[in-house]
Structure 1
Amino acid sequence: MKKQTSFITLSLMLATPALAGGAGAPVARPAATPCKSIAQIVMSDPNFSTLATAIEAAGLGQTLMGGQYTVFAPTNAAFAKLPSDTLAMALNDAAMLRSILLYHVVPGKVSAKQVMGMSSGKTAQGSSFLVSVSGGKVMIDNATVTKADVMACNGTVHVIDTVLMPAMSVAAQPATAPAAPAVTVSAPAAPSVDIMSIPAMPMSGGTMTTTTTTTTTTATTEATATGSEMTESNTLYDMIVADERFSTLRDLISDAELTDVLISNDYTIFAPTNEAFEGVDPDQLALIASNPETLKQVLLYHVVSGKLNAEDLKAGTQLRSAEGTSLDLSMDGSSVMVNTAMIDGAPITASNGNIFAINELLLPDTLVLPDPPTGAEVMTETTATTTTTTAPMVMNSASLVEALSQPQFSTLLSLVQKADLVGALTATDVTVFAPTNDAFAKVPQATLDALMADPAKLKQVLTYHVVAGRVVDDGLKVSQLRSLEGSSIDLKASGATYLVGNLSAANAMGSTISARTNAGNSVIYTIDMVMLPPTLK
């Protein structure tokens, strides 16, 4: 009541200034909170500390203080996905760093709703990124937008979970800051957008042909409006990605398709460290990792609903895991034990839960290990346009070069070495669509000879088979991915079947994914045809 009386009194004073002393001087209004520039938003948010450092190192701080821009901003967790030597190399190469950062910048103010209506956009770096919408998620190249429409005085910030990488041929060129604030990305008038498909791949014949066609895609979801969040930042998954102690766990979470679960729900996670996984029998771990359902069962045994703190654990004796069976809690001196695993240190706090590091992998009593795989179970159905297969079989982890040293990839590895691409492919996490020797045998010998005689074209073809970052599971269920060559790769997921290639043309040929190999933090998909970029002349 007192508050209401104060408002009434203030209203009377404003209406009759004579009662306030006759002069009637206007009462000053509280000063409005000043908005922040894009640079200030990045510099003031601890989640962008790595990005802030990179912007300063590239001399782009003043650029992002003025003008009108849209920035797709990678979080610290996004940068943590990059190998430390790759990040250090970029920070010490001003031209490369500037090129990478400007690939995240679009001149003009582009809202999330506009982004969702586009198929691609032109960056300040000079090349274009791809836009796709799948299951309510907005993808920029191979990065997911996790928070949209963070408004700045001079534009908009959209938060992403992966660092965007321009095509290799462009990234090496010095980039210049945008000179004008004019918008170079525009949304189409209707929700349907045109997406350029990649060329058909040769199955037979003596020439290499390219065909460009057009297909129409409709954005079915408007998951983001002004000021809304697609997913909460600093989630359990973000915190696991950002901590190098959990790199093995991170990869297995992705393999088990549990990423979305750990982003959208409140949980407590007992997270085995890399050392914990090293203590598991390699053959046993390989069997667990080879079967998605078994892997999911084991990982969910480490997850408990709700956000529990250290005191909750000390006071408890048993917890129900998300897998369904129980976890026993006990004390060993001052340390909390989960079954036979010891919690190491204080919890890591995420926006949707807590993470406790543990020194052992927990296995539920109900676990039944699958039989050792005897090879990929392939079901082939040949038509005029496509070849289908069952879900890719997951092979054991290995380094990228070691994985490509398998006999079936001897032709590919020799070409990678001849094109001097080994360093580029091992400097960061990548996804390789790897044609087998049989796939290369389908390419006319004259075409192979021409590629061998032209290093630039050979590099162009090989980098068309490579995507920046680790693309697994739902990451394949998009319409397109951006290759390191710069062109888009068309994808189609139908149940457990995955095809890559130009799948919309009348004479389309689909390249089949038949197996997946985890190569450290990178991944290799075995395919049965050589893909040719649409830019190849």
Structure 2
Amino acid sequence: MKVLAVISLLCVLSIGYCQQSNIVQLAEQLGANTLVALVKEAGLADTLSGAGPFTVFGPTDDAFSKLPRAIIDYLKRNKTALQDVLKYHVVSGKVYSSQLSNELQAASLLAPAKIRINIYQDGKVITADGSPVVKPDQNATNGVIHVVDRVMFPIPLMSMVDMVKADRQLKTLLTAVSAAGIASALEADGLTLFAPTDKAFQNLPPGTLDGLLKNKTALTDVLTYHVVKGTTFSAGLANGEKVATLEGKDVSFSIEQGSVKVDNAKVLRADDAVTNGVIHVIDSVLLPPTYKRHFRVEN
């Protein structure tokens, strides 16, 4: 009996030493108290304690605390919405971090929504819809938990183009995309879009926007300079990193005191996950070097 007691204590103190806990019990042992409370409120505790197996991307308490209080209150009032958010964090089957690959799209329990996996910095950073995995491969009797530091919300159910259409700040960008005829290109999978706001377009030198809208080739060059092939969430960025755009030239990133810039444009809103990638809203229009000189824009 004493030996069994010691083994049970070790299971509690050293998660992964043995597999005596189901998903819900393990989440409690990991200190994911908010997650467990919401799982119980949603009526999903029995499911996640069942045979499974399941892979859960489990947000920390701090991750939930970063959500606006109004969202938490809404989810608590709306059981269906709460169930949807929690199901989106769960994949059927047991998937370890070694089985994850860059741009993998894992089908969540909330069909047809998928969780996009990205791997950055030679495997040092793994994200699920942009949320870094901070504690991978926590074993349970009926699956595995990967602890993440951000709640995957809102659930990405719109494509990149549909998200641009829905955002009231991006009307000028939508007009430009339509004029250039590149909407279909933005439907490809695994893209990153740096989306200038309407105000960003207004801040261009007088006549610049009109000139671009009248020159489809130039407009296409400028717009494709805002698109990177590959899904680049903010957690995957490194200071001074350069990436190639669809236009062909590189954009560079700078990170200072939590503020992220692409070239000299400040990221106003990062990590808007969409079904085919991610959008970062920026405060300035990016111009390829040749167009900066042509329009005499100094960035």
Fold-level similarity (TM above 0.5): yes
Displacement of 1:524? 5.6
Letter in 1 for 2:43: G
**Inter-partner Cα distance in structure 1 for 2:77 and 2:20:** 32
| Count of aligned pairs | 212
2:14 — aligned with what?
A: none
Q: Which has the higher helix share?
A: 2
CA contact (8 A) 1:207 1:444 kept: no
2:240 — aligned with what?
A: 495
CA distance 1:518–1:202, shift in 2 (3 Å): closer
**Inter-partner Cα distance in structure 1 for 2:103 and 2:77:** 34
2:265 — aligned with what?
A: 515
- 1:129 has 2:115 as partner: yes
- 1:64 has 2:48 as partner: yes
- 1:92 has 2:77 as partner: yes
The TM-score, its normalising length taken from structure 2, stands at: 0.57
CA contact (8 A) 2:267 2:282 kept: yes
Displacement of 1:436? 2.6
Match runs of 1:10-89 below 5 Å: 33=8, 35-45=20-30, 47-66=31-50, 67-89=52-74
**Inter-partner Cα distance in structure 1 for 2:96 and 2:103:** 11
The TM-score, its normalising length taken from structure 1, stands at: 0.33
Indicate the percent of aligned positions where both proteins have the same amino acid.
23
CA distance 1:163–1:494, shift in 2 (3 Å): closer
CA distance 1:158–1:493, shift in 2 (3 Å): closer
Match runs of 1:84-483 below 5 Å: 84-116=69-101, 119-126=104-111, 127-135=113-121, 136-165=124-153, 166-167=155-156, 207-211=181-185, 411=198, 435-437=200-202, 438=204, 479-481=230-232
Displacement of 1:527? 4.0
Displacement of 1:514? 2.8
Unmatched tracts of structure 2, length 5 or more:
9-18, 160-174, 191-195, 215-225, 252-261, 273-279, 287-299
CA distance 1:494–1:443, shift in 2 (3 Å): farther
Larger Rg: 1
**Inter-partner Cα distance in structure 2 for 1:494 and 1:441:** 34
Unmatched tracts of structure 1, length 5 or more:
1-28, 171-200, 216-407, 413-434, 446-464, 466-476, 483-488, 530-537
Letter in 2 for 1:528: V
CA distance 1:214–1:120, shift in 2 (3 Å): closer
Letter in 2 for 1:210: S
**Inter-partner Cα distance in structure 2 for 1:36 and 1:492:** 36
**Inter-partner Cα distance in structure 1 for 2:102 and 2:60:** 24
CA contact (8 A) 2:265 2:285 kept: no
SS at match of 1:147: strand
CA distance 1:30–1:493, shift in 2 (3 Å): closer
Residue by residue, what CA displacement relative to the aligned partner does 1:344-392 show, whole Å, maximum 9, x if unpaired? xxxxxxxxxxxxxxxxxxxxxxxxxxxxxxxxxxxxxxxxxxxxxxxxx
CA RMSD of aligned residues (A): 4.4
CA contact (8 A) 1:203 1:442 kept: no
CA contact (8 A) 2:268 2:283 kept: no
Residue by residue, what CA displacement relative to the aligned partner does 1:11-30 show, whole Å, maximum 9, x if unpaired? xxxxxxxxxxxxxxxxxx96
**Inter-partner Cα distance in structure 2 for 1:492 and 1:49:** 30
Residue by residue, what CA displacement relative to the aligned partner does 1:192-232 show, whole Å, maximum 9, x if unpaired? xxxxxxxxx967955344236689xxxxxxxxxxxxxxxxx
